[in-house]
Chains A and B, each alone.
Chain A
Amino acid sequence: MKFSIQINEGPYQHQASDTAYLFTKAALEKGHEIFRVFFYHDGVNNGTRLTVPPQDDRNVIKRWSELSKQYNLDLVLCIAAAQRRGLLDENEAKRQGKDAHNIAEGFRISGLGQLIEAGIKADRLMVFGD
């Protein structure tokens, strides 16, 4: 089965990203395919490479990057939501005249069309939010 995942909330503030991660991991371990993980609303904050969370707890962002690497996942941050919230990749930073870019490894920024496509191409769309 092909799953697409939509995550509406940022790391730590809500459990959404955690539940989505554990669901995604379980689905992959069962041999299912993850078509795309799409981050929307505050969910784009899951893609920042600047977090320094306490060492004695899970690293929400790092483990998405690692899962992405392990299974070649497509982790997409919505560009409109990212622009609003200050998540920029190198190209966007240059385009917008900003002095920094801050996307974590394994994530890419793209348009909302990627979410619709994720709904069309997958067998199931799972939404995690608040």
Chain B
Amino acid sequence: MILHTVNKSPFERNALVSCLGHAQAGSSVLMIEDGVYGAIAGSQVADVVNNSLATVKIYALEPDLAARGIAKEKLISGVQLIDYAGFVDLAADNTTVQAWL
């Protein structure tokens, strides 16, 4: 399955929403860089993310959250945090990587 990466804020670009609209059941979505803002609970896009969690695995790059001062407690439950080593593993464990820029 695909590992989708989203690097822009969902409040600036439609990349996250578009990605989640295309991601197939069993695929993975990793939020990186400004994309990690998509993991914040209670935001305008949180419902879309929550609904996707039913079929898609969603991750956020922890160093990017820390850099941006977003505490773990603020995040949507179900979003898994990983580091760069985990990012490498995700890329290796899935069959293709698709960037939503």
Residues of A that sit less than 8 Å from B by CB = 1, 3, 8, 15-16, 19, 22-23, 25-27, 29-30, 32, 123-130
Chain A residue nearest in CB terms to B3: A124
Q: Are B88 and A32 in contact (CB under 8 A)?
A: yes
Residues A19 and B33 in contact, CB atoms below 8 Å apart: yes
Q: Contacts A30-B89, A128-B99, A130-B101 given; 13 further ones with Cβ under 8 A?
A: A3-B91, A16-B33, A22-B63, A23-B88, A26-B85, A26-B87, A27-B88, A29-B85, A124-B91, A127-B97, A127-B101, A128-B7, A130-B7
Within 8 A of A (CB), among B38-63: 63
Given contacts A124-B97, A129-B99, contact A30 B88 (CB under 8 A): yes
- By the criterion of a CB under 8 Å from any partner CB, how many residues of chain B are at the interface? 19
A1 to B94, CA, bound (A): 12
In the complex, chain A residues whose CB is within 8 Å of the CB of B84: 22-23, 25-26
- Asked if residues B88 and A127 are in contact (CB atoms below 8 Å), the reply is no
Least CB distance, B51 to chain A, in whole angstroms: 27
* B96 neighbours in A (Cβ, 8 Å): 124
Neighbouring A residues of B92 by C-beta, 8 Å: 1, 32, 123-124
In whole angstroms, how far apart are the Cα atoms of A32 and B84 in the complex? 13
Interface-central residue, B34, B83, B85, by most chain A CB under 10 Å = B85
Report the nearest B residue to A32, measured CB to CB: B88
Min distance, Cβ B16 to any Cβ of chain A, angstroms: 15
CB nearest neighbor in B for A123: B92
- Check A23 against B87 for contact (C-beta < 8 Å): yes
- B97 close to A126 (CB less than 8 A): yes
> Closest CB of chain B to A67's CB: distance in Å?
14
Least distance between A29 CB and chain B CB atoms (Å)? 8
Pick 25 A–B contacts, CB within 8 A, sort by A.
Answer: A3-B91, A8-B101, A15-B33, A15-B34, A19-B7, A19-B32, A23-B87, A23-B88, A25-B84, A26-B83, A26-B84, A30-B85, A32-B88, A124-B91, A124-B96, A126-B5, A126-B91, A126-B97, A126-B99, A127-B97, A127-B99, A127-B101, A129-B99, A130-B8, A130-B101
